[in-house]
Amino acid sequence: MMNRNKNFGRNLLTFAVVIAAYAILQPMVLAGSVSATLKGMLVPICAYVAMALSLNLTVGVLGELSLGHAGFMSVGAFAGATTAIALQQAVASAPLRLAIALAVAAVFAALVGFLIGIPVLRLNGDYLAIVTLAFGEIIKSIFNNLYLGLDDRGFHVSLLEDRTGLAEEGRMIIAGPMGIGNIPKIASFTGGFILILLCLAVIFNLVNSRQGRAVMAIRDNRIAAESVGIPVTKYKMMAFVISAAMAGAAGALFSLNYSTVVANKFDFNTSILILVFVVFGGLGNMLGSVIAAAALTILPEALRSFSNYRMLIYAIVLILVMLATNNPTLKMLIGRTIPKRKGAAESA
Amino acid sequence: MKTLRKTMCMVMAFVMIAAIAAAGATAYADDAIKIGGTGPLTGGAAIYGNAVKNAAEIAVEEVNAMGGVQFELRYEDDQHDAEKAVNAYNTLKDWGMQISMSSVTSKPAEATSAETYADRIFALTPSASAVAVVEGKDNQFQMCFTDPNQGSASAQYIADKGLATNVAVIWKNDDVYSRGIYETFMAAAGELGLNVVSDTTFADGNNTDFSVQIADAQSKDAELVFLPMYYDAASLILSQADAAGYYPAWFGVDGMDGILSLDGFDTELAEGVMLLTPFNADSADERTAAFVAKYQERFGEVPNQFAADAYDCVYAYAQACEAAGVTADMSAEEICAAMIEQFTTMTYDGITGDGMTWDASGMVSKSPKGMVIQDGAYVGLD
Among A111-120, A137-146, B7-16, B115-124, where is mean pLDDT lowest?
B7-16
Determine whether the interchain pair B82/A261 forms a contact, defined as Cβ–Cβ distance below 8 Å.
yes
Q: Chain A to chain B, count of Cβ pairs less than 8 Å apart?
A: 113
Tell me if chain A has a CB within 8 Å of the CB of B12: no
So what's the pLDDT on residue A197?
92
- Rounded CA-CA distance A81/B263 in Å is 40
Tell me if chain B has a CB within 8 Å of the CB of A211. Answer: no
Domains in chain B and their CATH numbers? 33-145+286-367 (3.40.50.2300), 148-277 (3.40.50.2300)
Nearest chain A CA: its distance from B94 CA (Å): 6
Give B54 to chain A, closest Cα distance, Å. Answer: 14
Interface-testing mutation among A260, A270, A314, with chain B (most B C-beta atoms within 10 A):
A260
- Residue A199 CB neighbour total at 10 angstroms: 29
Helix, strand, or coil here: B140?
Answer: strand
Which of A171, A259, A301, A309 is the best mutation test for B, with the most CBs of B within 10 A? A259
DSSP code string of B253-302: -GGGTTGGG-TT--GGGGTT-EEEES--TT---HHHHHHHHHHHHHHSS-
Q: Inter-chain contact A262–B114, Cβ cutoff 8 Å?
A: no
Residue of A nearest to B16 (CA): A313
Neighboring chain A residues of B202 at a CB cutoff of 8 Å = none
- Tell me if chain B has a CB within 8 Å of the CB of A338: no
Q: Which residues of B22-44 are buried (b: 16+ CB within 10 A; e: fewer)?
A: eeeeeeeeeebbbbbbbbbbbee
What's the rounded mean pLDDT across residues A84-111? 89
Q: Write phi, then psi, for A308 (nearest 5 degrees).
A: -65, -25
pLDDT for the residue numbered A263 = 86
Residue A343: pLDDT over 50:
no
The pLDDT value recorded for residue A7 is 76
Q: Flag whether pLDDT at A185 surpasses 70.
A: yes
Asked if pLDDT for residue A347 goes beyond 80, the answer is no
- pTM for the predicted model, two decimal places: 0.78
The minimum CA-CA distance between A286 and chain B, rounded to whole Å, is 25
Query: Residues of A75-97 as b/e, b for ≥16 C-beta within 10 angstroms?
Result: bbbbbbbbbbbbbeeebeebeeb
Cross-chain residue pair A264–B204, CB shorter than 8 Å: yes
Which residue of chain B comes nearest to A322, CA vs CA?
B10
Q: Which residues of chain B have pLDDT under 70?
A: 1-30, 284, 381-382
pLDDT score, position A168: 67
Judged by a CB distance cut-off of 8 A, whether residue A145 touches chain B is: yes
Average pLDDT of the residues of chain A: 84
Residue A330 has pLDDT above 80, yes or no: no
Least Cα separation, residue A294 to chain B (angstroms):
15
In tens, the pLDDT along A245-285 reads: 999 999 999 999 988 888 888 988 899 989 989 988 888 88
Question: Which pLDDT value is given to residue B8?
Answer: 62
Residue B41's closest chain A neighbor by CA?
A: A308
CB A105 within 8 A of CB A248: yes
Categorize the per-residue pLDDT at A241 as very low, low, confident or very high, splitting at 50, 70 and 90.
Answer: very high
